[in-house]
Amino acid sequence: MNVLKKLTTAAATVSLVAVTLASPAIAKNFKIAVGDSGGSSQEATGLGFKSALEELSGGKHTATLFLNGQLGSEQDTVNDAAIGTLDMSLLAINNVTPFSPSVGVFTLPYVILSLEDAETLTQGPIGQELTENTINDAGVRIIAWTYTGFRRLTNSKKPVKSVADLQGLVIRVPKNEIMIDTYKSWGISPTPMAWSETFAGLQTKVVDGQDNPYTTINAMKFYEVQKYVTNIRYIFSIEPLIISESVFQDLSSADQEIILEAGKAATAASAQFLRDKEAEIKQILLDQGMQIDDPENNEQEFIDLATAAVWPKFYESIGGVEKLNAVLAAIGRDPVSE
């Protein structure tokens, strides 16, 4: 190659690099799988994220929500995000647990007893540790938290106020060992069923009942196939927004920071949505003809049976009893001993 040609080639290369460096980062429309339908806490989180993302990126990035399981079951979307074929998913934390068992500490019965407990745990050191675990275990990163409220028991057959009333009912649960064992501690064997099949299962009487927060019961129109609600509070439903770690790492450092900040805004939007809407949604369910009852004796029988049987069984999977005690200490509760 002669000198002139070498100089021309070098100049062209420098010019190409300069143009590449000067060009703005590629705009992206993030696809977000959402398990629940419109009007849900999950949607509120997703919309909060989308709004903050657009504002923080100056309109460069946006997001599209695919509601009501359009992109697959919640567990399928964890797989899809892990391998990088899906950007993000909003899903119940019990569907993350099979992939990253330590997050199961948030689904142990009667650990989280208020929205404030949930905020303290998810937004503090424990939430950060669980986020790191999900990156390492499942290849996904938690960037926001949805606070959906306590999972209330519904059924189509009778009021349930005690453990005795629960006997004879066929209750749908997610495919989650902690939740399955909680119902077993109350003397029944629940039926694991995919979320996408739940409404049809209730409608056709394959199962008599299920549990979910008021916001989900309303968003999914379960009042069309369920009559009775019991205000149990065995699990406070936390539903993270996860992003594929491979997708996240492909972003520039500036865009990564935008994603994380948008996640914080989405978390705040979710908490505000629950505070603003839960009482209103409860009234909607009453207006739709549902009967809402409180458990007898402040739910103590349910609490005693579940904590005695379930907590010790899952110490190892969540990282040891000391992990549970760290959670309890963070929310001002007494530790347990092995």
Q: What is the pLDDT of residue 301?
A: 98
Residues 78 and 138 in one domain: yes
Residues 197 and 223 in one domain: yes
On whether residue 11 sits in a domain, the answer given is no
Residues 203 and 86 in one domain: no
| 195 Cβ neighbours under 8 A, 6+ residues apart | 35, 69, 73, 74, 92, 174
Which CATH number fits the domain that encloses residue 224? 3.40.190.170
Residues 133 and 160 in one domain: no
Residues 54 and 193 in one domain: no
Q: Does residue 25 register a pLDDT over 90?
A: no
Cβ-count burial 9-34 (b if 16+ within 10 Å, e if not): eeeeeeeeeeeeeeeeeeebebbbbb
Residues 32 and 78 in one domain: yes
Residues 230 and 164 in one domain: yes
Q: Evaluate whether 239 touches 45 at the Cβ level (below 8 Å).
A: yes
Domain holding 65, by residue range, is 27-148+238-276
Residues 100 and 164 in one domain: no
On whether residue 9 sits in a domain, the answer given is no
> How many domains does the structure of the chain reveal?
2
Q: CA end-to-end span of the chain, whole Å? A: 77
On whether residue 231 sits in a domain, the answer given is yes
Q: Does residue 270 register a pLDDT over 90?
A: yes
Q: pLDDT for 90-124, tens place per residue?
A: 999 999 999 999 999 999 999 999 999 999 999 99
DSSP characters over 68-93: TTTT--HHHHHHHHHTTSSSEEE--G
> Which among 220, 250, 276 is the end of a domain?
276
- Using alpha carbons, list the distances in angstroms from residue 75 to 33, 95, 175: 11, 6, 9
Residues 298 and 200 in one domain: yes
Residues 209 and 140 in one domain: no
Residues 108 and 86 in one domain: yes
Residues 213 and 188 in one domain: yes
On whether residue 330 sits in a domain, the answer given is no
On whether residue 64 sits in a domain, the answer given is yes
On whether residue 336 sits in a domain, the answer given is no
* pTM exceeding 0.75: yes
Q: pLDDT for 161-192, tens place per residue?
A: 999 999 999 999 999 999 999 999 999 999 99
On whether residue 131 sits in a domain, the answer given is yes
On whether residue 20 sits in a domain, the answer given is no
Q: Does residue 20 register a pLDDT over 50?
A: no
